[in-house]
A = this chain, B = another copy of it.
Amino acid sequence: MKAVGIVAEYNPFHNGHAYQLAKAKQITNADTTVVVMSGNFVQRGLPAVFDKWQRAELALIGGADVVYELPFAFAVQPAHLFARGAVNVLVAAGVTSIAFGAEHAQLDFLALAKIARQKLSENAAFKNDYTQTYATVFNDVLADVTGQRLSQPNDLLGFAYAMALLDLGYADKVDLVPIQRKGADYHQTGITDTRIASATALRELMSQEKPASDFTDYVSKPAAELLAGGEQSKSWSEAWYPFLQYQVLTTPIYQLEQIYQLTNGLAYRLKEQMTRYTQADYQTFMTMFKSKRYTWARLQRTLLYTLLNISHDEMMQAMQRPYLRVLGATKQGRFFIKKNRDQVQLPVINHVTHEMVTDILQLDYRAGKLYELMAKQPLQQAMDTGRIPVFYE
């Protein structure tokens, strides 16, 4: 068997993703597509528009054979940690290649990453410095090698996958396959291509409460019906922000300082500014809180860690304990899982036990509970306990 891995958020799944899956299979000559997908929260620190089960099901409908959940400890992180967690899951699951969309598929990402690693090892200041963004490193390398600077998000992610493969020692074992991106950019909000719209554009249509017929050009029929119902989670600014205010105002500063990433005086600054601007809404608060030192996404993630009360120690522990959580599979996917069962080096979670929710799964469980609490309609089922993987024939 030959399986190609894909890293995704599918927020929500659309024709562009289906195209990517088909193309990845074709290029790599794989018989199985294996996806590792963010859970209920996406990389930018926001709740996904639909929960992980619904998004996994749409992915299976759209051409994925297995969908694994990227654990929260990697999913809601800057690109290099996100990439490392995702690559680790895919390789552990048994893929022989990893495909990704790129703005410039002609680039040799692995070669670039090797040069970058060399540069990093030469420069002591870069060593183990996880605050240095990949964008900067990538661009320095690119500038050296090609004389040009690039900053497009998928190229950057591809570079991060290459770095992760090297860091984890899998570069010789797994092929990295760039696929030229087609259609809409991530940041593009308008609809330009007849059959492909960006996830951002689709979320915009959802917020306008468009009917299902407005989505059928860009997503599968079941997806169109789901999207027509609007987001499952309430919007951050309207619904979640009061809980963040509550958390920050009632938590003593010495406890806030335990939160992951609330370091270097950020806990104090958060408490101080939120106390001063109690009446401000989320956007206004963020404008006050934002500084040159941190990106908006970084701060947003930090606020999510705060909302979820995730301590530095908990995050460190969770990052040291990756696992394979199956969200769903097709018949082919089940065959793949069964065949690889004996080679898998990570714990496999199909069914969440009582012990897991306070142990290996505690961050995802907590994130799922918050998602349940914040759903617009009461969810039919809990996010973790009592759930079994979705099967799609």
Contact = CB atoms under 8 A, between A and B. Distances in A.
Interface of A: 242-243, 245-247, 249-253, 255, 275, 278-279, 307-309, 314, 358, 362, 366, 369-370, 372-373, 378, 382
Nearest to A239: B242
Given A243-B243, A372-B278, A309 B250 contact: yes
B373 A242 contact: yes
Most chain B CB atoms below 10 A, which of A242, A250, A358, A369: A250
A307 to B, nearest CB: 7
Contacts of A378: 279
A362 B250 CA distance: 10
A45 to B, nearest CB: 15
B246 A370 contact: yes
Contacts of A246: 243, 246-247, 370, 373
**A-B pairs with lowest CB-CB distance, top 8:** A249-B369, A250-B309, A279-B378, A243-B246, A250-B308, A250-B366, A251-B309, A245-B373
Contacts of A358: 252-253
Most chain B CB atoms below 10 A, which of A278, A308, A362: A278
A378 to B, nearest CB: 5
Contacts of A366: 249-250
A363 B366 CA distance: 27
B249 A373 contact: yes
A275 B121 CA distance: 48
25 contacts: A242-B243, A242-B373, A245-B373, A246-B246, A246-B247, A246-B370, A246-B373, A247-B247, A249-B366, A249-B370, A250-B309, A250-B369, A250-B370, A251-B309, A252-B309, A252-B314, A252-B358, A252-B362, A253-B358, A255-B309, A275-B369, A278-B369, A278-B372, A278-B382, A279-B378
